[in-house]
């Protein structure tokens, strides 16, 4: 026999603190802890600099698929980079969107600047493809 329960309890989701190790990219060392905006900025940087499917330690949802775009025409490359970057960073629940993509060609590389919108505020990111 299955017990009956007609009560509806309200469930609220609480965001846990996002404390993580602070990675000093310049010195390539860990320096203490960080949270909030800086932790989100660091997470976005790590996602964009990890090639998806390349490392078994990461799930298939983590990272960006940018390696296969080398040598493609600009008319294909620019919208595809925008789509792939947005798809990659949206995996993090602190990210709410991306905007203002700007592309510039530097020899055989493409520099990309864009805004990442997070629950802590906006951050400008820059990378090369």
**What pLDDT does residue 19 have?**
80
**What pLDDT does residue 16 have?**
56
> Cα(115)–Cα(121) distance, rounded to whole angstroms?
10
> Cα(105)–Cα(110) distance, rounded to whole angstroms?
4
Neighbouring C-beta atoms of residue 127, cutoff 10 Å: 16
**What pLDDT does residue 96 have?**
95
**What pLDDT does residue 33 have?**
85
Domain that holds residue 82: 20-128
Q: Are 39 and 60 in contact (CB under 8 A)?
A: no
Is residue 103 in some structural domain? yes
What is the number of structural domains in the chain? 1
Is residue 78 in some structural domain? yes
Query: Any idea what the CATH number is for the domain that residue 25 is in?
Result: 3.10.450.40
Is residue 10 in some structural domain? no
Is residue 7 in some structural domain? no
**What pLDDT does residue 72 have?**
85
Is residue 50 in some structural domain? yes
| Three-state SS at 4 | coil
Low-confidence spans in the chain with pLDDT less than 70:
1-3, 5-17, 27
Please write the tens of the pLDDT for every residue from 9-25.
Answer: 666 666 656 788 888 87
What phi-psi label fits residue 13: left (phi over 0), alpha (psi between -120 and 50 degrees) or beta? beta
Is residue 13 in some structural domain? no
> Cα(106)–Cα(87) distance, rounded to whole angstroms?
25
């Amino acid at each position: 026999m299955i017990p009956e329960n007609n009560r509806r309890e309200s469930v609220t989701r609480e965001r846990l603190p996002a404390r993580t190790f602070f990675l000093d990219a310049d010195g390539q060392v860990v320096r203490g802890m960080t949270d909030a905006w800086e932790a989100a900025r660091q997470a976005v940087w790590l996602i964009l600099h990890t090639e998806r499917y390349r490392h078994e330690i990461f799930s298939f949802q983590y990272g960006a698929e940018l390696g296969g775009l080398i040598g493609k025409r600009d008319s294909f490359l620019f919208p595809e980079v925008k789509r792939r970057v947005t798809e990659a960073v949206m995996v993090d629940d602190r990210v709410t969107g991306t905007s203002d993509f700007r592309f510039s060609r530097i020899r055989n590389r493409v520099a990309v600047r864009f805004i990442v919108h997070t629950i802590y505020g906006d951050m400008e990111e820059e990378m090369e493809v």
